Structure 1
Amino acid sequence: MRENLIFSGIPEQTPDDPDTNIKTFMAAHLNLSPDTINKITFHRVHRLGRPSNKGVVKSKGKELKGKPDEQEDLTFVKNYQPKEGATHLRILLHGPVGAGKSSFINSVDSVLQGRITDRALTDATSGSSFTKKYKTYKIHKGPDDFYSFVFNDTMGFEKDTNTGVLVEDVKLALKGHVEDGYKFSPSQELMEGDKGYRSAPTLDDKVHVLVCVLPVGSVSLISEEVVKKMREVRYAASDMGIPQLAILTKVDEACPKTNRNIKDAYKSKYLKQQVDAFSLLLGLPQSSIFLVKNYGSDGNMNDDNDVLILSALRKIITSGEDFLNDL
């Protein structure tokens, strides 16, 4: 496999299809047979320099418009493969009710598919957790294959007892003891021998990176009881060596400046204050806390929004991979 090949002197076409143009160039100037050319595949082909038109870079699923950071992060995500012994990287999301856990899964799926998706069901009106079951989400890379990471969504934490997911059940999920499809009970912990309990989890069943999700505008409003539950899960993950990160969602709703231009998310003094506050609240380093605007079913794709999502996703994956490499 060759990386970062550069061809020069290939005229621009209208519409411009760099993939086809390169194969035509190879047939005309490199004396390669049609059979040989047909066997050549490209991960991504794009034209360098200033385009004469809109300069849209074509790729499978998502179309990019030449943003270097976005292209680099997308390439990393598409090429990622976990260490030998694991078939995928497992990412567990946790947080309070209505934090945007399911919406973040949908947002990652949307970015990688190049269209708005809503596979993980969400609810904007319910005051209780909409997610009831422990479910694994795989993201399609093609018709017959998937990206090498999976998400697990959990029932949200709630202030009152007998509501929301139990901390002990989330700890069991970290260890791989919770089977896919298990329905959480706010009043009864999952025990060994129960239906939904996995007695002998494999490396693939276990969680490799833990991600806390919270609306950025709720940092100062979250109850002490919920914070205590999130801390307890974080401490359990630390004892297992599992890395932890955080996603602060709904940045557009919390900051008018960011709502006008999502690129200003990390320039906002207010959002920076919330990151600092959450860092102190949960004990996470600021470098492990990311600002994101999730996609909704009524929204449109936005490259600047994709940059935030892909940046967070890449850090999640690299943190999980570091954990796997240390095993």
Structure 2
Amino acid sequence: MGGSGSKPPSQEFDKEWRDTPWEKKELLEENLRELKLGDSNVKYIRILVVGEVGAGKSSFINSINSVFQGRITTEALADSGFGRSFTKTFNPAVSDKNVDYRSETRPEDLTYCLVYVIAADKVSMMKEEVFKKIRYIREKASSLEIPQAIIMTKVDEACPLVRDNLRKIYTSKKIKEKMQECSNSVGVPMSHIFPVKNYHEEIDTQKDVDVLILRALTQIVQIADDLLKRKQSDSEERKCI
């Protein structure tokens, strides 16, 4: 007589633990295109993207462009190294300008969000020295009140469920575990971690991929805009004194 054995644990939650507007791709794109920043004098906001070699930084940038172009594009070149990503701007508060964040710098020259790109399938294997670099930059950014977020790429390579059906991304227990691991290792809250699938071998854009990218970008822009509004408010208060 064979034993009945125990039932293997489920790999999925019963329902999405984070709501996703899968059918509202066009609305997400329209809202981003028409977004008005908190400071009318700033035409665009700078977002600093950092991460280990192969994490998907350039692919994420290309994927964003592909969403808005409606076709696969490859304008951003691959990074040559993790160190270069961190040393490109010696002050994480500015972009390619050796000026202090608290000096009289034009608002459009400042960085309003620091985004770490981490590959979901590699987070468990990342060396401690990599996390040390990330935490060092996090401390510097935090001291300058710069908000931070994580783009977690390669979700399809980390979870077979998601590889077969991208809409399972927020029912997959594996993906949530990877997000929690990122949060614990870097110190960024779960609410600021956005799992996505970059375009890398496709020849046409796909709606579900677009939705995740647009949703992540929307959240990052809103996080950055919140800082922009605070800076504008602080500036107006100083003028009134």
TM-score over 0.5 (shorter chain):
yes
Deviation at 1:242, TM superposition (A): 1.1
How far apart, CA to CA, are the structure 2 residues paired with 1:216 and 1:171? Answer: 27
**Structure 1 residue 78 corresponds to structure 2 residue 68:** no
Question: What is the CA deviation profile of residues 51-88 of structure 1, one whole-angstrom value per residue up to 9, with x for unaligned ones?
Answer: xxxxxxxxxxxxxxx95432332121110132222121
Give the structure 2 partner of residue 187 of structure 1: none
How far apart, CA to CA, are the structure 2 residues paired with 1:166 and 1:258? Answer: 29
The question of whether the paired residues in 2 share the 8 Å contact of 1:251 and 1:293 is answered with: yes
Q: 2:198 pairs with 282, 291, 294, which one?
A: 294
**Structure 1 residue 172 corresponds to structure 2 residue 91:** yes
Give the structure 1 partner of residue 219 of structure 2: 315
Give, as a single letter, the amino acid of the residue that structure 1 aligns with 2:128.
E
Q: Secondary structure at 1:247's aligned position in 2? A: strand
Q: Secondary structure at 2:40's aligned position in 1? A: coil
Instruction: Please give the TM-score of this superposition, normalised by the length of structure 1.
Output: 0.59
Give, as a single letter, the amino acid of the residue that structure 2 aligns with 1:75.
E
How far apart, CA to CA, are the structure 1 residues paired with 2:114 and 2:220? Answer: 9
Give the structure 1 partner of residue 77 of structure 2: 121
Which segments of 5 or more consecutive residues in structure 2 lack a partner in the other structure? 1-20, 232-241
Give the structure 1 partner of residue 176 of structure 2: 272
Deviation at 1:165, TM superposition (A): 2.6
Deviation at 1:166, TM superposition (A): 7.4
Identical positions, percent: 39
Give, as a single letter, the amino acid of the residue that structure 2 aligns with 1:267.
T
Question: What is the CA deviation profile of residues 191-211 of structure 1, one whole-angstrom value per residue up to 9, with x for unaligned ones?
Answer: 78xxxxxx9742211111110
Give the structure 2 partner of residue 99 of structure 1: 55
How far apart, CA to CA, are the structure 2 residues paired with 1:281 and 1:173? Answer: 20
| Larger Rg, first or second structure (1 or 2) | 1
How far apart, CA to CA, are the structure 1 residues paired with 2:119 and 2:25? Answer: 24
Residues 166 and 268 of structure 1, relative CA distance in 2, 3 Å threshold? closer
Give the structure 1 partner of residue 64 of structure 2: 108
Q: Secondary structure at 2:135's aligned position in 1? A: helix
The question of whether the paired residues in 2 share the 8 Å contact of 1:249 and 1:292 is answered with: yes
Q: Secondary structure at 1:211's aligned position in 2? A: strand
Greater share of residues in helix = 2
The question of whether the paired residues in 2 share the 8 Å contact of 1:106 and 1:118 is answered with: yes
Q: Secondary structure at 2:198's aligned position in 1? A: coil
Give the structure 2 partner of residue 136 of structure 1: none
The question of whether the paired residues in 2 share the 8 Å contact of 1:99 and 1:215 is answered with: yes
Q: 1:303 pairs with 168, 193, 207, which one?
A: 207
Deviation at 1:175, TM superposition (A): 2.6
Question: What is the CA deviation profile of residues 187-241 of structure 1, one whole-angstrom value per residue up to 9, with x for unaligned ones?
Answer: xxxx78xxxxxx9742211111110001101111111111011111111111111
**Number of residue pairs aligned between Structure 1 and Structure 2:** 207
How far apart, CA to CA, are the structure 2 residues paired with 1:249 and 1:168? Answer: 22
Q: 2:186 pairs with 262, 282, 287, which one?
A: 282
Residues 295 and 232 of structure 1, relative CA distance in 2, 3 Å threshold? same
Question: What is the CA deviation profile of residues 119-161 of structure 1, one whole-angstrom value per residue up to 9, with x for unaligned ones?
Answer: 0023xxxxxx42xxxxxxxxxxxxxxxxxxxxxxxxx42xxxx
1:17-36, aligned counterparts within 5 Å?
Answer: none
The question of whether the paired residues in 2 share the 8 Å contact of 1:244 and 1:288 is answered with: yes
Question: What is the CA deviation profile of residues 282-308 of structure 1, one whole-angstrom value per residue up to 9, with x for unaligned ones?
Answer: 111101101111012544311011111
How far apart, CA to CA, are the structure 2 residues paired with 1:169 and 1:300? Answer: 32
Which segments of 5 or more consecutive residues in structure 1 lack a partner in the other structure? 1-65, 123-128, 131-155, 158-163, 180-190, 193-198
Q: Secondary structure at 1:274's aligned position in 2? A: helix
Give, as a single letter, the amino acid of the residue that structure 2 aligns with 1:174.
A
The question of whether the paired residues in 2 share the 8 Å contact of 1:167 and 1:232 is answered with: no
How far apart, CA to CA, are the structure 2 residues paired with 1:226 and 1:67? Answer: 34
